[in-house]
Amino acid sequence: MRRFFYPILALASATLLTVSCEQNKVETPVPEINIVDEFRLSYEGGEISIPFDINNPVEGAEMGALCEASWVSGATADDTSVTFTATENTGEARKADLILTYTYSEGQVTKTIILSQSAAGEEPEPDPNAPQLINNGEGTIVAAPEGGDYTISYSLVNPTQDGVLNVKSYETWVNDVDANTLGTIRFSISANTTKDREGSIIVSYIYGDSDTVSFEVAITQKRVPVDLKDVTFTFEPVEITLSSATIDIIPSDAETPYIVWFAERNRIEGMTDDEIFEVDMLYAEQVAAMFSASLTDYLEQIRLITGTYQHTQTKLNSGAEYYIYAYGVDNSGSYPARTTAMSKYLFSTKAGEAPAEGINLDVEISEGSAYLIATPDDNDRYYYFDWLSESILTDAGHTEGTAEERILAYTYNDGTLNELYREYFPVSKLCFKGPQTYNMPIDVSSSDETYYFFAFYVDDDAQKDSDFYLKTYTGGEFVTAAVPGRASFLRK
C-alpha cells in the first residue's frame, strides 16, 4: 500500500501546488472602447467626428476604424475620436455599422457604433438617453413697462455628473439672474423709460465634450407711457457762422415724433403756438404737393424725427436773429395734430464786419459749396452782388479787358442788370439793401475753374455807382480780398 501512497501524495501535492500558483497570478485588465452605441447625424452629411476614450489603455496600442456603407468614407481614428465623411442623404433614413478596433500586444477589442442618418430634409431625432433641457413655460415673456421680477421654469432630464447649467442675457436691462434653485430661474427687468424693446434669456446645459442643449425665452417690453404734455426740447448750438447754424435738438422723450423748423425772429414772434402750427402745416402741404404726396406721407417720410437730432440750417443772413423751434406731432390721423408745447430757441448768426466805406464780401465754403455774404457800410443804399466764372465769361465772348470790365459787360448785357430787366423791374427787385447771404449753386472744389464774387452800389436806375468790389477764387484758393454774391435771378 505504501507503494501507492507517495504518488497519490505527490499528485495531491502537485494539485495543491497548481492551485496555489493560480491564486497568486495577476490578471491584466482588458481595454475597453468607451463610445456611444448609436450616433444620429443630419441628412446633410459632411465631415463627422465622434469623441471617445479608452478604459484600461495599453501603451503601443493602435486604433482602427472601418465602415463598409457606400455613403460613409474616409473613416479614421486616433486616441480620442473617430472621423469620417457622410454623403448627403437624398432618400429615406438609413443606417450603417462603424467598427472601431483597438489592437494591443495581447489581443484586440472592437466596438460597433450604429450610424443613423435622417431622411432627406429631416433632422435626426434626439437621443432619448441624452440630457434634455425643457422649457416648462411660454416662449415669450411680456414684461410690464415698469419692470419687475420674473421666473422661468424648466426641467432637466438625464443629467450627467459633469453637466453645468448656464444662463445668460445680452440685455443690460435684464438683471439679478439667479439659477441656484433647480428647475427655476429668477431674474429682474428694469423699468423701460426709453422705447419699446426686445431681448432674450438663453438657458443652456453643457455636458461631456462641450455638448450643449438649450432653449431661448424671448422678452418684450413696452416703454412706460409718457404724458406728452410734459415733453420738452432742449437746443444746444454746435456751430454758428455768418451764414449757417448747426444745433443739436434733444427731446426729453426719445420716442415722441417731432418736427423742427427755422424762422426769422420777426416772422413768428407774437404768434401763438396754434397759429405757428397752422402756418407750418400750410407750408408743408405746399411742399408735399411738389412731391405729389399727401401731407401725412410727406411728414412721415421726410420731416418727422425721433431721438436726438443735429440740424444744420444754411442760407442764413449774417447778423440776423432766428428761432429754431420744435414740437411733437401725431401723424396717425387724416391731418397732423400737435401733441406737445412748442420749444423755441433764439440765436443770432455772426455779423459780417461792416467796412468804413464800401461793401465787405465774405465767402464761407463748406463741402464744396460757397455761401456768399455781403455787408455794406450803408444799409439804406441799394447794391448788386453776384458771382461769375471764367468759363461763363469766355462762353459769352467776354474775353478782352480786366476782370472788372468783363464782369460788368456780362452783367449789363447778359446778366440780371441787362437793359430789358432794368426797363421792366425797379431797382428794389434787382438789387439789395443791408447784409445779404446767398448759397452759390456751384462746385467750388473744382481746381481748374476760376470764380469771381463781386458787388457794387447802384443808383436809382441800377447803374454802377461806386467802386467795384471783387474776390477771386481760383485753384482752390482766394487770390484777392473780400467778396460773395447773389445768383442771377430776381429777388422776390
Burial class (CB in 10 A: 0-12, 13-18, 19+), 181: exposed
Task: Say if residues 452 and 370 touch (Cβ distance below 8 Å).
Answer: no
Sequence-distant (6+) residues with CB within 8 A of 375 are 318, 319, 351, 352, 353, 354, 355, 359, 360, 361, 362, 435
CA atoms within a 13 Å half-sphere pointing along the CA-CB vector of 23: 6
Q: pLDDT tens, position by position, for the chain (492 residues)?
A: 222 222 323 333 333 333 444 445 556 788 999 888 888 888 999 998 887 888 889 989 999 999 999 999 999 998 888 999 999 999 999 999 999 999 998 899 999 999 999 899 887 777 777 888 999 998 999 999 999 999 999 999 889 888 999 999 989 999 999 999 999 999 999 999 888 899 999 999 998 877 788 899 999 999 888 888 899 999 999 999 988 899 999 999 988 999 999 999 999 999 999 999 999 999 999 999 999 999 999 999 999 999 999 999 888 888 899 999 999 999 999 999 999 999 999 999 998 888 899 999 888 876 667 788 899 999 999 999 998 989 999 999 999 999 999 999 999 999 999 999 999 999 999 999 998 887 776 666 666 788 899 999 999 999 999 999 998 887 666 554 333 332 222 222
Q: Give the residue ranges of DSSP H helices in 177-235.
A: none
- All domains in the chain, ordered by first residue: 32-117 (2.60.40.10), 132-221 (2.60.40.10), 228-348 (2.60.40.10), 359-478 (2.60.40)
pTM of the entire predicted model = 0.53
Q: What is the pLDDT of residue 440?
A: 72
CA distances from 90 to 94, 117, 118, 342, 378 (A): 11, 11, 10, 67, 90
Backbone conformation region of residue 247, classed left if phi is above 0, alpha if psi is from -120 to 50, else beta:
beta
- The x, y and z cell numbers of residue 447, run together, are 481746381
Fill in the DSSP letter of residue 228: G
Q: With the C-alpha atoms ordered 266, 271, 277, 281, is the resulting torsion angle positive or negative?
A: negative
Q: What is the pLDDT of residue 446?
A: 62
- The x, y and z cell numbers of residue 69, run together, are 456603407
Fill in the DSSP letter of residue 298: H
Nearest-angstrom CA–CA distance, 458 and 455: 10
Q: What is the pLDDT of residue 483?
A: 35
SS3 405: helix
- Beta-bridged to residue 215, according to DSSP, are 203
Task: Say if residues 323 and 413 touch (Cβ distance below 8 Å).
Answer: no
CA distances from 15 to 1, 10, 20, 23 (A): 21, 8, 9, 13
Nearest to 153 by CA among 200, 187, 128: 187
- The x, y and z cell numbers of residue 40, run together, are 444620429
Question: Beta strand 107-117 with 38-41: parallel, antiparallel or unpaired?
Answer: parallel
